[in-house]
Homo-oligomer: A and B are copies of this chain.
Amino acid sequence: MFYVDKRLQFPVRVETPNPLFARALQQAIGGVEGEIRVAMQYFFQACGARGDPKFRDLLMNTAAEELGHIEMLATAVALNLEGAPLSMQEEASADPVAGAILGGINLKNLLSAGMSAMPVDSDGVPFDMSHIYASGNIAADMGANVAAESTGRVLAVRLSNMTNDPGMKEMLSYLIARDTMHQNQWLAALEELGGNEEVFPIPNSFPQTDENQDFNYTFLGFQNDGSEPVQGRWSEGPSIDGNDAFSSRPMEPMGDVPNLGRAAEGSGAQAEQL
Q: How far does the alpha carbon of A96 sit from the alpha carbon of B96 in the complex, in Å?
A: 7
Rounded to whole angstroms, the CA-CA distance of A31 and B110 in the bound complex is: 13
Point out the residues of chain B lying under 8 angstroms from A105, CB to CB.
Answer: 103
Known: A49-B260, A108-B123. A7 touches B253 (CB 8 A): yes
* A49-B257 Cα distance, complex, nearest whole Å: 13
Bound CA–CA A253/B7 (angstroms): 6
Q: How far is the CA of A257 from the CA of B71 in the complex (A)?
A: 11
Tell me whether A211 and B173 are in contact (CB under 8 A). Answer: yes
Binary contact track A144-164/B, C-beta < 8 Å → 1, others 0: 101100110111011111111
- The CA of A178 and the CA of B260, in the complex, are separated in Å by 26
**How many copies, total?**
6
Q: Mark A49-93, 1 if CB is under 8 A from B, else 0.
A: 111111001101111110110111011001100000011101111
Q: A140: which of B151, B230, B253 is its contact (CB, 8 Å)? A: B151
A269 contact set on B, CB distance < 8 A: 50-51, 114, 136-138, 203, 205
Query: Closest residue of chain B to A144, judged by CB?
Result: B147
Q: Which residues of B contact A233 (CB under 8 A)?
A: 188-189, 191-192
Which of A88, A194, A222: most chain B Cβ within 10 A?
Answer: A222
- A155 near B111 with CB under 8 A, answer yes
Known: A128-B129, A202-B153. A44 touches B111 (CB 8 A): no
A251, B9: Cα distance in complex, Å = 8
A50 nearest CB across to chain B (Å): 4
Is the beta-carbon distance between A44 and B9 smaller than 8 angstroms?
no
B97 touches A92 (CB 8 A): yes
Shortest CB distance A21–B (Å): 6
> In the complex, what residues of B have CB within 8 A of residue A131's CB?
32, 130-131
Contact, CB under 8 Å: A263 / B2: no
Contact indicator A192/B118 (Cβ below 8 Å):
no
Are B2 and A68 in touch, CB under 8 angstroms?
A: yes
Q: List 30 A-B contacts (CB under 8 A).
A: A5-B223, A5-B253, A8-B254, A23-B103, A27-B111, A33-B135, A44-B74, A48-B114, A48-B115, A48-B116, A49-B260, A51-B262, A58-B229, A75-B258, A78-B260, A92-B97, A102-B104, A114-B136, A116-B260, A123-B124, A127-B128, A137-B270, A150-B202, A154-B268, A161-B266, A177-B216, A180-B201, A183-B202, A188-B233, A189-B234
Top 8 closest pairs, chain A to chain B, by CB: A103-B104, A114-B136, A48-B116, A123-B124, A8-B255, A51-B273, A7-B253, A1-B68
